[in-house]
Amino acid sequence: MGLDIYRALFDLTGRTALVIGAGSGIGKAGAEALAAFGAEVTCADLDADAAARTADGIVADGGNATAAQVDIGDPTSVRAVVDRPDVVVCTPAINVRKPMLSITPDEFRRVVDLNLAGTFNVMTAAAAGMADRGRGSIIVISSIRSQVVEPGQGVYSATKAGVVQMVKTLAAELGPKGVRVNALAPGVVETPLTEQIKTHPDWYRAYAEKSALGRWAQPSEMAGAIVYLASDAASYVTGSLLVVDGGWLAVDGRFTPPLPE
């Protein structure tokens, strides 16, 4: 077969990708990266202007992109943008950082409705068409909070764990039809979702120091994982949780023992 088969592993030329949440953060970086590797990208977001800015930036850099507005909480809105894509990436999420005993039923429903039910809407709408066509890759954003928790992250963590279980189930159900479904678990990434933390220097620094790399990630550092899962390089990868966390889950605790030199 030669080396050309390996050189082509990440080539997305001729494929279509829908990135939901492309207006900012990880979604924006993912849309840009998929376009850079040749995909024709639909940049979708609840904020139509933000989606258009991302698409315009891609086109200005020589890529192929259009923009669309979508509300993942509305199945009809989702179905309107899921039009035969080869790749679907779903990134939107919200968080309410409060102790469990302080979370109101309305706050609980808001987080669950977007993070879990919204992701369900996207996954099922995309998967139906992919199953009929016999191919496709679905990538959803989970979190390290699907694996480890801290005070104030109860409902968010539950939804991110739920996303992983939906990914595994859909991968099992649609694997025979050629559809791959995977989740990405970022660590701490500088996005609008984590903007609150930057106003607390001690909190921000503690998160940086927890990872093995000793720093926060940029959204662009999640883009390689998205391209990988979308591409033929991951042709045998499904039902997986790909952790991109700077070593957060690998390091035990936030204390460095006084070891001898």
72, 19 contact by CB (below 8 A): no
According to DSSP, residue 182 is labeled: E
Query: What band does 186 get if pLDDT is binned at 50, 70 and 90?
Result: very high
Six token digits for residue 53: 């800015």
What is the DSSP secondary-structure string of 23-46?
A: TSHHHHHHHHHHHHTT-EEEEEES
Q: Which one is predicted more confidently, 226 or 192?
A: 226
Domains in the chain (CATH in brackets) are 11-242 (3.40.50.720)
Please provide the average confidence, as pLDDT, over all residues in the chain. Answer: 95
118-172 confidence digits (pLDDT tens)? 999 999 999 999 999 999 999 999 999 999 998 999 999 999 999 999 999 999 9
Supply the pTM of this predicted model.
Answer: 0.94
Cβ-based neighbour number of residue 78 at 10 Å: 24
Catalytic: 207?
Answer: no
Mean pLDDT, rounded, for 170-179: 98
pLDDT score for 136: 98
Phi, psi of 170 (to 5 degrees): -65, -35
Least confident piece of the model among 62-66, 73-77, 163-167, 250-254 = 250-254
For range 234-260, the mean pLDDT: 88
What pLDDT, on the 0 to 100 scale, is given for residue 28? 98
Coil/strand/helix, residue 250: helix
Largest CA distance in the chain: 62
Residue indicated by tokens 């039902």? 239
Beta strands in the chain (DSSP E): 16-20, 40-45, 64-69, 87-90, 136-141, 179-186, 241-244
Looking at residues 49-69, what average pLDDT do you find? 98
Q: Which residue has the tokens 């609008």?
A: 192
* Catalytically annotated residue among 156, 204, 207, 228: 156
Rounded CA-CA distance 179/54 in Å is: 27
What pLDDT, on a 0 to 100 scale, did the predictor assign at position 200? 86
Which residues face 87 on adjacent strands? 17, 137
**Which residue's structure tokens are 């990440």?**
10
Angle subtended at Cα 254 by Cα 26 and Cα 103, rounded to the nearest 5 degrees: 60
Task: Label residue 240 by pLDDT band (50, 70, 90).
Answer: very high
- pLDDT on residue 201: 87
Task: Give pLDDT, residue 258.
Answer: 74
User: What pLDDT, in 10s, does the model give residues 214-231?
Assistant: 999 999 999 999 999 999
Neighbours of 33 (CB within 10 A): 25
